[in-house]
Structure 1
Amino acid sequence: MLPLRQIKPKTARTKRFLDNKGPQINENVRTTLFLKYTTCSDILSLVLTDLHALKRPLAIKFTKKNHIHPFEDPSSLEFFSEKNDASLMVYASHSKKRPHCLTFARFFDFKVMDMLELLVDSETMRTLAQFKNAKATVGLKPLLSFSGSAFESPTANAYTLAKSLFLDMFKGSEVKEVDVEGLQYMIHFSVDEAENEQAKPVIHLQTYLLRTKKSGFNLPKVELEEMGPRIDFRVGRIKEADADMWKESMRKPKGQEAKTKKSIETDVIGDKVGRIHLGKQDLGQLQTRKMKGLKRSRDVMGAEDVVGGAEEEADDLVEEATKRVRVEA
């Protein structure tokens, strides 16, 4: 990876601009940029419009076509990313070899970190306009749902990369609390089970409205109504992130590191567990409470008392026999 060019500010205004553009303790919300290739099908134009509608207002859509090949020379994409301060990009292109292709790219420090190609199935695709119902309000956070063993694979593959890209794209801003009234729709991603090693499973994207109805109890009854769009993706080429760039992107700033406490840790379930270290105790000098019930009775005797009593009884018998002999004499 080539070293980044360092720009030295000459004025205070330039310094403020570079500080705002540089790394932050709390990063800005991820903005997605939508671009088109010189040849873009009508299906891809509809898909870009629907994805832009779901992503608003954190989205920028360009209508002018661009002659860019992301997997061959991503420098133009990096230029667009830096100019528009966008960390995610969706690039639409159509060709005979790769029909209805969407390229999802993720940037770090305005450099391409990883990319994924998803080919849209034109026969099963349904747009937002084809579902005649109400739509979710712009700017609300959606519920994200993933189903399929491929998304939870322990080894990195195209499906784990797709899950990571979809999460970064649709999760929106980081918030601590969410109003229940603001949960109006859900985006569900599912992947089929692999029948053989050669055929790759299809990724299904479906969007549902959340309808709450009276149930007669304290909790309302929740129903799902499909809102659109409905898109099926076939996995194409991927570009995995460089190990050094990925390590640098995952590094946490010093201000956000949680302070560790001695002898306190969290287990797998999430419970806080503490360890207490005690010194060596001398139980010989332990003062106990004196009670009559704890005293030893005459009926209960220990082993030493039994031996001592037998010896005293033998001495008494010898002494009594000696007295008898003296009396007879």
Structure 2
Amino acid sequence: MSSSLTLAELAKQFKGIDKGFDIKKIVLEDSNVRDIESLEPFTSLEYISFRCNNLDSIEFLINNYYLRHINLSNNKLNLLDVRITQLSKLEYINLANNNLDDISPLNDCTNLKVIVANNNKITKFPRISKLESLEILILSDNLIESVGLPSAHNKKLAKVSLSRNKIREFPLTKFWPSLKELRLNGNKIITLPSKDQLDVMSSIRTLDLGNNSIYDKSYALNLKAFVNLRDLNLLGNPVSDKITIEELELERLIIYNSRKIAKRDAGNNDRKTAKTRKKQYSLQNTK
């Protein structure tokens, strides 16, 4: 296929396009396409995937106002056209493996639920203050040095991946109340906030802090604040050899340092249950 794609060529690829433009989905991947004629005539288009091509611009899609799903991963994009904000219905965008250094225009695509932008050249944590529907944010393998203190209420944000960046401080915030998964593997984190500070993020169930520079046991003990943790990774930190799982006192933990935890001792559980029942009985008698 030629490196420049016209609507006539699209018509040859997809049955029905030549009979009208009432089409909702176009998938054209691994085709060495560098340039695409405007898709504006496809007024009903909702889903496109041009993954693994040589595209360096998104101009061809900025007038497709009904787009909900865009996959432009593995292309050669180096600038995100600000006119993407016109796509008010957009829910999913995948920009992984491009050359982008800024994705801030996405903050005005207020219906976004998923942003995938790993393996780019992003240097600053993007503004997401307007993305009240955002659920997943993937920014691993970039050049981000700081997350700052997020102040926007992203109430639905459940997963954030910032692995393999240059972050030095744990991204502490109380404004992501639904956060379940936080991945910070391969950064430059040395310390952790106090247990009292971390309490505001106790909703987290998966926390990956592997391959950082956390050395002090007292910092690791602050992780007790994450009472809902099921999966914790500290491998690759100096502190990993200094602390035991028992010291962390995370009773709901299932996986520690990528290994499934052996079942807790049944005898201990029975004794705890007996103590609980005895305490409850005592309380009942004081009513």
Question: TM-score per shorter chain, which class?
Answer: under 0.3
More contact order relative to length (CA 8 Å, sep ≥ 6): 1
TM-score, reference length from structure 1: 0.20
The answer to which structure has the higher strand fraction is 1
TM-score, reference length from structure 2: 0.22
